[in-house]
């Protein structure tokens, strides 16, 4: 079977790319002044072209397209290392809500996500086992006032910017999803990747609304496919920038790109990204259509894309030479984004173990 994007999907890609190219590259905050927010102008512009509501059904004020279109936007955002809550709110939170089948929760939260007026974060990971789909130490108990949550969540995307939290907690022995307010519960985390904000969430008798059983497998599949798409976008642009630079940087009176050893290194990067891209597109299609192979393809894509981006990020820093290790150049941002996303939602080894038989 041959996969190809439709003309409408390619037009969406071109529209988002033009918008982001006009907006410029990623911010490079000084070490002593970490970036604590996101660009509201760009966030609003994405809303104006309907990017936030692509996969949200029309009955919830969305566009009524599919997750595949949303992941095209994710790839383009990755290409520019954009720092905003699109991955955590527009993609993961929206798909989590839809997977629960809770109409009231969808009616309440999805219109705000689709318009970009509400940022929702999924509080899933815990310190002991960050991306587990079982054994959550965070618990929910029923009281006279309703459900109360107790526990500690880590690696919560854009926690400090969130208006609402979707918390995975154990209730009556089952992993369940709850809606809670982040007020007073969030502590921003110091992260390696300066273009992505995370936070810790401390829950102590925190009031919450039960949404239903947590759709953990769907959450895992969507998260893996989305990060893979983001990595492909970033890796593709960084490889292009690196190739162009090797045509300009000279050594012994010749561009370094003319040396056979450099050609071999760039060829290895190209081979890695093309293989990873095929898996990323296959995973995007599978999770969008709820194909039976979604879990397997998403795991394969996350593993391959993580390793391809890590290779290209490292080679890019080396081939840029001295300029590649300066704070003002974006080389370090790619290196940090590659390392951080390699671990986000599970390492390559974690995903390989999901699909390979025990040995």
Q: Are residues 28 and 78 in the same domain?
A: yes
Query: Which of 138, 154, 124, 264 has its CA nearest to residue 203?
Result: 138
Q: What is the pLDDT of residue 4?
A: 85
CATH code, domain carrying 93: 1.10.540.10
Whole-number Å distance between alpha carbons of 312 and 318: 10
Q: Are residues 321 and 250 in the same domain?
A: yes
CB 169 within 8 A of CB 136: yes
| The domain boundary residue, chosen from 164, 185, 214 | 214
Report the sign of the C-alpha dihedral through residues 24, 26, 27, 30, in that order.
negative
CATH code, domain carrying 247: 1.20.140.10
Beta-carbon contacts of 204 under 8 Å, excluding residues fewer than 6 positions away, are 150
Pure H helices in the chain: 7-23, 40-48, 67-79, 94-100, 103-115, 216-248, 260-289, 294-319, 331-343, 348-355
Q: What is the pLDDT of residue 34?
A: 47
Whole-number Å distance between alpha carbons of 91 and 110: 11
Q: What is the pLDDT of residue 359?
A: 45
Q: Are residues 141 and 84 in the same domain?
A: no
Give mean pLDDT, residues 43-69: 96
- Label residues 96-113 b or e (16+ Cβ within 10 Å = b): bbbbbebeebbebbbbbb
CATH code, domain carrying 171: 2.40.110.20
Query: Which of 123, 138, 146, 139 has its CA nearest to residue 209?
Result: 146
Q: Are residues 316 and 267 in the same domain?
A: yes
φ/ψ (deg, to 5) at 178: -125, 150
In a domain, 25, yes or no: yes
Q: Are residues 141 and 266 in the same domain?
A: no
User: At residue 294, does pLDDT exceed 80?
Assistant: yes
Beta-carbon contacts of 37 under 8 Å, excluding residues fewer than 6 positions away, are 161
Whole-number Å distance between alpha carbons of 5 and 24: 26
In a domain, 2, yes or no: no
- Label residues 165-193 b or e (16+ Cβ within 10 Å = b): bbbbbbbeeebbbbbbebeebbebeeeeb
Whole-number Å distance between alpha carbons of 229 and 308: 12
In a domain, 286, yes or no: yes
For 241-293, the pLDDT digits (tens) are 999 999 999 889 999 999 999 999 999 999 999 999 999 999 999 999 999 99
Give the range of the structural domain holding residue 126, as residue numbers without chain letter: 122-214
For 123-146, the pLDDT digits (tens) are 999 998 788 888 899 999 999 989
| The domain boundary residue, chosen from 80, 100, 118 | 118
Q: Are residues 223 and 140 in the same domain?
A: no
Number of domains in the chain: 3
| The domain boundary residue, chosen from 83, 118, 153 | 118
Query: What is the value of pTM for the model shown?
Result: 0.93
Q: Are residues 321 and 192 in the same domain?
A: no
In a domain, 1, yes or no: no
Q: Are residues 149 and 99 in the same domain?
A: no
User: At residue 314, does pLDDT exceed 80?
Assistant: yes
Q: What is the pLDDT of residue 204?
A: 95
Q: Are residues 147 and 258 in the same domain?
A: no
Beta-carbon contacts of 285 under 8 Å, excluding residues fewer than 6 positions away, are 3, 68, 291
Per-chain mean pLDDT for the chain: 92
Q: What is the pLDDT of residue 29?
A: 54
Give mean pLDDT, residues 42-69: 96
Beta-carbon contacts of 356 under 8 Å, excluding residues fewer than 6 positions away, are none
pLDDT band at 358 (very low <50, low <70, confident <90, very high): very low
User: At residue 157, does pLDDT exceed 90?
Assistant: yes
Whole-number Å distance between alpha carbons of 199 and 34: 14
In a domain, 234, yes or no: yes
Q: What is the pLDDT of residue 26?
A: 64
In a domain, 205, yes or no: yes
pLDDT band at 27 (very low <50, low <70, confident <90, very high): low
Q: Are residues 221 and 316 in the same domain?
A: yes
For 68-104, the pLDDT digits (tens) are 999 999 999 999 999 899 999 999 999 999 999 999 9
Query: Which of 230, 340, 242, 219 has its CA nearest to residue 280?
Result: 230
Q: Are residues 209 and 239 in the same domain?
A: no
In a domain, 280, yes or no: yes
For 101-126, the pLDDT digits (tens) are 999 999 999 999 999 999 999 999 99
In a domain, 278, yes or no: yes
Whole-number Å distance between alpha carbons of 92 and 180: 16
For 161-212, the pLDDT digits (tens) are 999 999 999 999 999 999 999 988 899 998 888 889 999 999 999 999 999 9
Q: Which residues pair with 255 in a beta bridge?
A: 250
């Amino acid at each position: 079977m041959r996969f190809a994007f439709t003309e409408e999907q390619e037009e969406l890609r071109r529209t988002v790319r033009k918008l982001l190219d006009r907006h410029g590259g990623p911010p490079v905050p000084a070490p002593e002044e970490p970036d604590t927010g996101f660009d509201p102008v760009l966030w609003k512009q994405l809303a104006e072209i309907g990017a936030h509501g692509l996969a949200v059904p029309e009955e919830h004020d969305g566009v009524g397209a599919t997750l595949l279109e949303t992941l095209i936007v994710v790839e383009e955002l990755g290409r520019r290392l954009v720092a905003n809550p699109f991955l955590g709110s527009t993609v993961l939170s929206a798909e989590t809500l839809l997977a629960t089948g809770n109409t009231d929760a969808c009616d309440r939260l999805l219109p705000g996500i689709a318009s970009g007026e509400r940022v929702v974060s999924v509080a899933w990971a815990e310190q002991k086992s960050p991306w587990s789909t079982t054994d959550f130490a965070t618990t929910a108990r029923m009281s006279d006032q309703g459900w109360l949550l107790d526990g500690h969540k880590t690696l919560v995307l854009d926690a400090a910017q969130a208006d609402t939290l979707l918390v995975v907690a154990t209730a009556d022995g089952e992993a369940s999803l709850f809606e809670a307010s982040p007020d007073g519960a969030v502590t921003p985390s110091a992260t390696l990747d300066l273009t992505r904000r995370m936070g810790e969430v401390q829950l102590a008798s925190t009031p919450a609304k039960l949404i239903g059983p947590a759709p953990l497998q769907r959450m895992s599949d969507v998260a893996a496919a989305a990060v893979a798409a983001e990595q492909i976008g970033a890796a593709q642009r960084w490889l292009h920038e690196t190739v162009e630079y090797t045509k300009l940087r000279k050594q012994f009176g010749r561009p370094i790109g003319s040396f056979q050893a450099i050609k071999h290194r760039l060829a290895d990067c190209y081979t890695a990204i093309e293989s990873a891209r095929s898996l990323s597109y296959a995973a995007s299609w599978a999770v969008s259509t709820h194909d039976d192979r979604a879990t397997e393809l998403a795991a394969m894509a996350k593993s391959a894309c993580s390793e391809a981006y890590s290779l290209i990020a490292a080679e890019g820093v080396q081939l840029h030479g001295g300029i590649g290790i300066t704070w003002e150049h974006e080389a370090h941002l790619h290196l940090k984004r590659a390392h951080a996303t390699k671990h986000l939602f599970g390492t390559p080894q974690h995903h390989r173990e999901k699909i390979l038989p025990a040995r």
